[in-house]
Chain A
Amino acid sequence: MLLASSSCNDWLDVNHDPNALEEIPDAKVLLPAAQVGIGNNLMGWDFGFGGAFWVEYWTQSYTASQFKSLTEYLPQEFNTAYQSLMREPMNDLKRIKTMSAEDENKGYYFVAEALSIFTWQIITDVWGDMPYFEALKVDEGILHPKQDTGAAIYEDLMLRINALLETDLSGSSISPESDFIFEGDLDQWYRFANSLKLKLMIRLSETPGYNNSSVLSFIQNADLLTTSAKISGSVWNDAMEGKRHPMREFQAGGANYFSTNVIAAKNFIDYLSVNDDPRLSKLFNGTKGAFYGDFDSKEDSDGNGINDANEAYATVIFSGNMDLMIMSDWEVNFYIAEVYARAAQNAQAKEFYDAGVIASLSQHGISDTSIIEDGGYAAWTNGTVEQNIKQIAMQKWVANANYQHIESFLERNRTKYPSVNDIDIEANRQFAFNNFPVGDLTISVKGRALLNGNLPASPLYPTSYLFRNNNAPSQKANVGEKVWWNMKIGK
């Protein structure tokens, strides 16, 4: 009987998926998926489109409707991004850390922890208060993690980055082919971790606890990134389904979102064209932008004889071999410039500001740097602290287009630049066209009423969190709720 039952158990022991693995030999096979997973979200459906529409790079075309609700400020959760980030890269990073925590080689642990802190910051920056301390603990039986405050998350992320920076990486290594970002160069990863710490610090610039002088002393002593942390455009295969740069996936292969739904918003493209910014032709086909969030115009606002709905608006350019930015060199340079600017050290501020603009131009393959030279619209002006902060923010807005859309949204929330002009476009479109506030954002024509004239400040909580977690809070009222560090006065 015993024999029979054990052989029956053998006969029944077939519940192992032949199309999956139950164990892997090495954490390194998880790393590429985690890196690309982060990137695929940073410029994917929710963050890529949501960011670009909410900072008014783009608006919805008159003849289609896919992104209408985004541009009207209707409820958005960015659920796809949250779900993907947590179950794909975040869970993989945790597995890498678990598998390599006891290794003498600290390489994989270091990279996984750095990317984990990086992603947590984005999550709390985007959605605000979220579960953190009890997250990623199914192995401890936690299926309903409790929500934590953004401030508490930041505090812990700072502890973690400091602990990580204590790591001695000498003698450690990671395999170059499993590292899309730095090809196994751990020195660059250490710089990435330092730059991440800077990003964590400066994001709190408007909170009472912010201390610019300690940030200043940090940047003066730390090795920071001088090249972008990015996934090279050479990894994509634009001709194949599922192998494309995330934004290209929404155009190539028949999806056609860019050729039918997305057009340039007047706010951004006018700023580029009025200032002859050479990046315009790299970002758009054409130079004409539409009022932001305007769908039902039957007027001819510019008086050229063609109704608004039928104008040939500029369309967005994404090439098949676009780099996918994780943390850009202009981003780091602009942070440094801002810290110096806040410390009123204008010479250093200018140096890093210029380096940031040049980094952006060179990412676009532009060697002409005349826009920051004397007479150039972006030349450093040595203004007041606030003017300098604005100047840096405006160039960040331009530099982030096509590369870091969610970052652009978050940084605008922090700095409140570009500013918002209250002009009521629908009240008089011709007037609005002729007196357009170039360089400012405007309130969505169709979304004007929804947030009482404010801009979106954060997406709602993802429903996959809200409705599956017994400890989840009630939903936000709308997309106008600000996260905790979004304290600067203004829209």
Chain B
Amino acid sequence: MAVMAEDLARTRSRTTPDILALYDEHAPALLRFLLGVTGRRDWAQDITQESFLRLIAAVGRGETIDAPREWLFTVARNLLRDRLEDRDSSLNKRAKSDSSVNTPDEREADNAALRRLMRRLASPRELEILELRSEGFTYEETARILGIAPGTVGSLLARAIRKIRDALKREGRL
């Protein structure tokens, strides 16, 4: 039983990191990322909340999380992917009877014209890479978060930046 008491003490000590301090440190970036990729405040809010609740649960289970920022973005991105898949699946079902399938995204979109344009032109993966780049993640970190090869990060970033460059050229701003 003494060993179990030690286990209990160890478990308690693993739950001590201040989740709210981690929240204050990382949540703004996570929200920016989710808003940037989806343009939806409701999704950004839900996924940020769920990501931190999973962090609390992981710490409670005794998991060691060495890089909480990367961990949170990975969890959030997986939650986002699930939502996008669910949405795409339901949109496919509705597509034949409903022609305004993009309205929710457009309605929730921010006012920046370039961002709206990029949501139309870029793939979700390219947008994710642009946003992660804006948050300062390296190719290696981005690759781990998205579960792809670092070389692919470079290719997709190049493709996305070319789209931005071409859009700026069309507007005569480059």
Answer yes or no: do A and B interact: no
Give B contacts to A, CB under 8 Å.
none
